[in-house]
Amino acid sequence: MKACQALFWILITSFLSLPIIISAQENIITPVTKNASPEARALLKFFYNISGQYILTGQHNFPNVKDRNSKFAADYTGKTPVVFSTDWGFAQSGNTDSYLARQNIVNEAIRQNKLGAIVTICWHAVPPTAEEPVTFQPLPGADSSKLQSVQGKLQEHQFQDLLPPGTTLYKQWAKQVDSIAVYLKKLKDAHVPVLWRPYHEMNGDWFWWGGRVGEYSTIRLYRQLFDRLANYHKLSNLVWMWSVDRPSTPKRKFSNFFVGDKFFDIASIDIYGSDFNQTYYDSLLVLANGKPIALGEVGNPPAPEVLKRQPKWTYYVIWAGMVRNTTKKQYLELLNDSHVLTLEDAAYRTVINQYRQAAGMEPLPLKVIKTTDFSGAWKFNEDASALDNGGTANIPVLVSVTHNGDNLEISRTLVSEFSDNSVMQEQLTTDGQEKSMKAPFGNFPRLVTARFSNGRDSLFVESKISFTNGGRTTEWTNGEVWTLNESGSQLIILQTSNSFMGRRKLSLVYELVRSKE
């Protein structure tokens, strides 16, 4: 009888506690941003789901290079990183960190999101004592009272004046934040959630925002930014990341810079020199209190033996220019680990499709069909080509290609024996859409299309020129099939044409002289 009564009360207690458990779990997975977008909610839930099961690969890209760093990582390791990382920039025009690249960053982030990547953005913020652009480090002889760089320190009274609303420095700071909010809102309107990592490495004192404790603290500045973006601008697409560096001094211990549970969704740390100290991991887990953790920046990815001891890292991002800090053999060992996911992995596509469905996005196909990238400068190799009695007449000696997603820009240099060489420009999309442009002679209309084969390894470029002479309409056609050899060092174009030179069927071989950017 007593056993039955005990069992009864166990069942009753379990039943009564069930709503509490569910409620707590729901509270945990609720983003810190009020009225977070469906995409942000789904993305945060995705990170809870993979925590302890998988770690995502990632690559940082300088602001002014689009996805060049990610492409390099993919070429070097043989696998595409999942996490696309970038920065809003701060530097002058032409610099890899140029702040003028922000619209291009938005465009690339939208494209990456469609491809299945996850977007994270940090911001090397400009100090409120300056206007954009600034330098990364203070210039020699710079006025310390007017900081004009990302690294460096504000004077004590300046940092204090920055925090109360209404001061001159606060207004300047707010203006700079608002300029970033414009682009974050564009991503919100495009339904792109962002892992937002502001004021990173905040426990360090090398950036103007970092290393402050006490009444006028870095914590307070971070919360001020949170209020400006989440409440004033109502940016609902941000998943907020609290970012620290290694606690290399007693002052830099994580707890001194803990922003509070209500102000972050994911905790992260930046680690260089493969310093994956177990105490960093354990301490961050304690403060995260059940929230996901990530490696916001690394110089080297964590090795498999590190991941066995530290299984709850959800992603890592290799900083731009540091891919080769790790050997190809080491990458092979890491990427062969079933817990480490790249964009091509079926396991990643399976788990990310749950997020994409919740976010109202098209699912990714489980099997990846890799598109051949024809980018580069290609020089005509006459000896390797199969020509006809027309020789090399009207054959481009140089073909330069920029291939970015569905967009294709082709420049063909044609030799003239009686004047300067001419360059024929073509801007195409690979969806078969007909583009209208001018013929390289006579200003006649020329219609061009480009499309990929089903296997995405061959490109079909077809053009047609029509003109009327003496009441008679003549049509010249040109069809090309583009492929690369196995090593990617040769572009082979099989060309079939019908023009004033009659019917021609050629096999044109071009050698790579400058690789894709």
Q: Where are the beta strands (DSSP E) in 161-312?
A: 194-198, 238-245, 266-271, 293-298
DSSP SS3 for 379: strand
Beta-bridge mates of residue 340:
55
Domains, the chain, with CATH or none: 31-358 (3.20.20.80), 376-514 (2.40.128.20)
Residue 164: the pLDDT is 93
pLDDT of res. 67: 95
Per-residue pLDDT averaged across 216-244, rounded? 98
Short-list 476, 487, 486, 484, CA closest to 510: 484
Residue type, 150: V
The pLDDT, as a whole number, for residue 369 is 78
pLDDT category, 479, cuts 50, 70, 90?
very high
pLDDT for 94 beyond 50? yes
Mean pLDDT for the stretch of residues 264-275: 98
Quote the pLDDT of residue 368. Answer: 82
Answer whether residue 13 shows pLDDT above 80: no
pLDDT digits (tens, 9 = 90+) for 316-348: 999 999 999 999 999 999 999 999 999 999 999
Q: What's the rounded Cα separation, in Å, for the pair 48 and 52?
A: 9
The whole-number average pLDDT for the span 96-100 is 98
pLDDT of residue 473 exceeding 50, the answer is yes
Mean pLDDT of 423-445: 86
What pLDDT shows up at residue 222?
98
Write down how long the chain is: 517
For residue 9, the model assigns a pLDDT of: 36
Lowest mean pLDDT of 24-33, 155-164, 233-242, name the range: 24-33
What is the rounded average pLDDT of the residues 182-210? Answer: 98
Statement: residue 155 has pLDDT above 70? yes
3-class state of residue 5 by DSSP: helix
pLDDT at 381: 97
Beta-carbon-side half-sphere exposure of residue 9 (alpha carbons within 13 Å):
5
Cα-Cα end-to-end distance for the chain: 78
358 or 280, higher pLDDT: 280
Confidence of residue 442 (pLDDT cuts 50, 70, 90): low
Alpha carbon 286 to its chain's center:
30
pLDDT of residue 202: 98
Name the H helices within 29-167.
Answer: 38-50, 68-77, 102-115, 156-162
Q: Are 163 and 220 in contact (CB under 8 A)?
A: yes
Distance CA 382, CA 385 (A): 5
Task: Between 51 and 14, name the one with better pLDDT.
Answer: 51
pLDDT for position 470: 78
What confidence score (pLDDT) does residue 28 get?
60
Residue 351: its pLDDT value, please? Answer: 95
Q: Is the dihedral of CA 217, 219, 220, 226 positive or negative?
A: positive
- The 10s digit of each residue's pLDDT in 106-136 is 999 999 999 999 999 999 999 999 999 999 9
pLDDT: which is higher, 109 or 438: 109
For residue 123, give the 3-state DSSP assignment. Answer: strand
Q: How far is CA 331 from the centre of its chain?
A: 20
Tens of pLDDT, residues 21-60: 333 344 468 999 999 999 999 999 999 999 999 999 999 9
- Structure-token pair, residue 91: 């530097």
pLDDT for 516 equals 60
pLDDT, mean over the chain: 92
* 386-416 residue pLDDT tens: 999 889 988 999 999 998 878 899 999 999 8
Average pLDDT over residues 179-199: 98
